[in-house]
């Protein structure tokens, strides 16, 4: 598998995407192609031996070869014209805007470039936490009750404690718990710094949480093992940030087979007929014997490699089972009929 990592993006999670790319570079020492998308939407080809955080923080990446997408791949200029990068598939590793909102998915499909990652419709549903809840319920998966707040709205009838989240942001950025009115007002103001839409849910201390990743190939679903993340009140940004740099296996949750199968079945309902072509991670709550979807991570930190016993094999399997884009041919048959009918 001749894999190319695409990372960066114009997103609050830009630096986290860089950390993910560096982590996977350590995991796959044979990788040669790294495409960096900067905050001006310029693409750069980064040599493998320069994949270090300082290259990006110092802006020295701008000294590297600039490339651009065209039909079939990414190209760079030569003395004799242009040359296409020799990779077989792109791994979309851009977290947040650009990568998870459908922008990059649309660009890659427009230019017919093979890629691992969520397609545009899946991005739309998983990028917005409200749409994710509506989608999950349509698939028969429970979610916690919630309220949506926009700037200028008045919020009434809050039962504390609650958790406040920017509706279209990941990596635990802007998330806070409020146990009284003053904390709520501050948390909402903080969340609005990231997004004009805020989601508010009840907060349950010590609620059981389980993370499960997976993908679909021709022979069916492939699941990772299930992790029960270690956390205090919430999995805050600092702890979650470490997830993006993880290359060592997490600890498998000690749960019975019935719960394991129930979580896998819930994951399958979320994934099928929507997320084909992507390796995603679903975070579930388990309360009063009921499974609730917390969120969908369409491009999880470091691709959730730490949840797989043989991540390289699974990634290669997915790369060989990507959706085939329909090759639509325009025949102009309708225009020919009009032309014939009018005698022109």
* Of the listed ranges 37-46, 283-292, 295-304, 334-343, the one predicted with least confidence: 334-343
- What's the pLDDT at 234? 57
- Computed over every residue of the chain, the mean pLDDT equals 92
Same domain, 187 and 75: no
| Residue 334 covered by a domain | no
- What's the pLDDT at 342? 67
Same domain, 174 and 106: no
Same domain, 169 and 270: no
- What's the pLDDT at 238? 53
Which pair of structure tokens corresponds to residue 33?
A: 């192609």
pLDDT digit string, tens, across residues 134-146: 999 999 999 999 9
DSSP 161-175: SEEEEETT--TTTT-
How many domains in the chain? 3
Same domain, 159 and 51: no
| Residue 328 covered by a domain | no
- What's the pLDDT at 337? 86
For residue 24, what is the domain's CATH number?
A: 3.40.50.20
127 close to 101: Cβ distance less than 8 angstroms: yes
pLDDT-based confidence at 156, cuts 50/70/90?
A: confident
Residue scoring higher pLDDT (233 or 165):
165
Q: Which residues of 22-56 are buried (b: 16+ CB within 10 A; e: fewer)?
A: bbbbebbeebebbbbbbeeeebbbbeeeebeeebb
Query: Which of 336, 134, 311 has its CA nearest to residue 224?
Result: 311
Same domain, 132 and 241: yes
| Residue 327 covered by a domain | no
- What's the pLDDT at 317? 97
- What's the pLDDT at 29? 84
Q: In Å, how far are 8, 14, 196, 210 from 53, measured between CA atoms?
A: 12, 12, 31, 31
Same domain, 62 and 86: yes
Percent of the chain with pLDDT over 90: 79
Residue 241 predicted with pLDDT over 60: no
| Residue 335 covered by a domain | no
Residue 262 predicted with pLDDT over 80: yes
Residue 299 predicted with pLDDT over 90: yes
Report the distance separating Cα 336 and Cα 342, nearest Å: 10
Provide the residue range defining the domain that includes 306: 124-140+205-319
pLDDT-based confidence at 73, cuts 50/70/90?
A: very high
Same domain, 111 and 173: no
245 close to 270: Cβ distance less than 8 angstroms: no
| Residue 339 covered by a domain | no
Q: In Å, how far are 11, 280, 304 from 221, measured between CA atoms?
A: 31, 12, 16
Which pair of structure tokens corresponds to residue 110?
A: 């427009």
**Neighbour count for residue 70 (Cβ, 10 Å):** 13
* pTM assigned to the model: 0.91
Same domain, 71 and 212: no
Query: Which of 218, 237, 240 has its CA nearest to residue 300?
Result: 240
For residue 266, what is the domain's CATH number?
A: 3.30.470.20
Report the distance separating Cα 200 and Cα 333, nearest Å: 53
Do strands 89-92 and 115-116 pair parallel, antiparallel, or not at all (unpaired)? parallel
| Residue 156 covered by a domain | yes
Residue 307 predicted with pLDDT over 90: yes
| Residue 14 covered by a domain | yes
- What's the pLDDT at 288? 95
Same domain, 172 and 255: no
Same domain, 154 and 259: no
Q: What is the CA radius of gyration of the chain?
A: 22
pLDDT mean over 62-81:
95
Percent of the chain with pLDDT over 70: 94
pLDDT digit string, tens, across residues 20-55: 999 999 999 888 899 999 999 999 999 999 999 999
pLDDT mean over 101-129:
96
Same domain, 232 and 132: yes
pLDDT digit string, tens, across residues 161-193: 999 999 998 767 889 999 999 999 999 999 999
* Of the listed ranges 49-63, 159-173, 204-218, the one predicted with least confidence: 159-173
- What's the pLDDT at 327? 83
pLDDT-based confidence at 335, cuts 50/70/90?
A: confident
| Residue 165 covered by a domain | yes
Residue 329 predicted with pLDDT over 90: no
Same domain, 172 and 310: no
Residue 313 predicted with pLDDT over 80: yes
């Amino acid at each position: 598998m001749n894999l190319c990592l695409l990372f960066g993006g114009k997103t609050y999670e830009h630096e986290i995407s860089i950390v993910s790319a560096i982590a996977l570079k350590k995991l796959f020492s044979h990788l040669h192609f790294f495409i960096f998308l900067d905050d001006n939407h310029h693409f750069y080809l980064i040599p493998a031996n320069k994949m270090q955080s300082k290259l990006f923080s110092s802006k020295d990446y701008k000294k590297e070869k600039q490339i651009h997408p065209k039909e079939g791949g990414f190209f760079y200029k030569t003395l004799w014209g242009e040359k296409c990068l020799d990779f077989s598939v792109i791994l979309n590793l851009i977290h947040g805007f650009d990568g998870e909102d459908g922008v990059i998915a649309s660009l890659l499909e427009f230019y017919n470039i093979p890629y691992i990652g969520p397609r545009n419709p899946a991005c739309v549903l998983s990028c917005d936490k409200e749409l994710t809840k509506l989608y999950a319920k349509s698939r028969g998966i429970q979610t916690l009750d919630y309220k949506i707040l926009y700037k200028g709205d008045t919020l009434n009838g809050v039962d504390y404690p609650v958790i406040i989240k920017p509706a279209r942001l990941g990596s635990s950025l802007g998330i806070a718990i409020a146990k009284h009115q003053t904390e709520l007002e501050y948390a909402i103001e903080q969340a609005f710094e990231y997004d004009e839409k805020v989601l508010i849910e009840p907060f349950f201390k010590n609620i059981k949480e389980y993370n499960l990743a997976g993908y679909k190939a021709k022979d069916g679903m492939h699941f990772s093992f299930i992790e029960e993340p270690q956390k205090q009140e919430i999995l805050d940004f600092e702890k979650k940030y470490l997830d993006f740099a993880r290359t060592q296996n997490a600890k498998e949750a000690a749960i019975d087979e019935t719960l394991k199968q129930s979580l896998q079945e819930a994951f399958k309902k979320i994934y099928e007929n929507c997320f084909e072509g992507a390796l995603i991670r679903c975070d579930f709550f388990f309360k009063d014997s009921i499974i609730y979807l917390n969120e969908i991570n369409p491009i999880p930190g470091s691709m959730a490699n730490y949840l797989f016993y043989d991540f390289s094999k699974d990634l290669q399997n997915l790369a060989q089972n990507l959706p085939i884009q329909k090759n639509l041919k325009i025949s102009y048959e309708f225009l020919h009929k009009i032309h014939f009918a009018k005698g022109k």
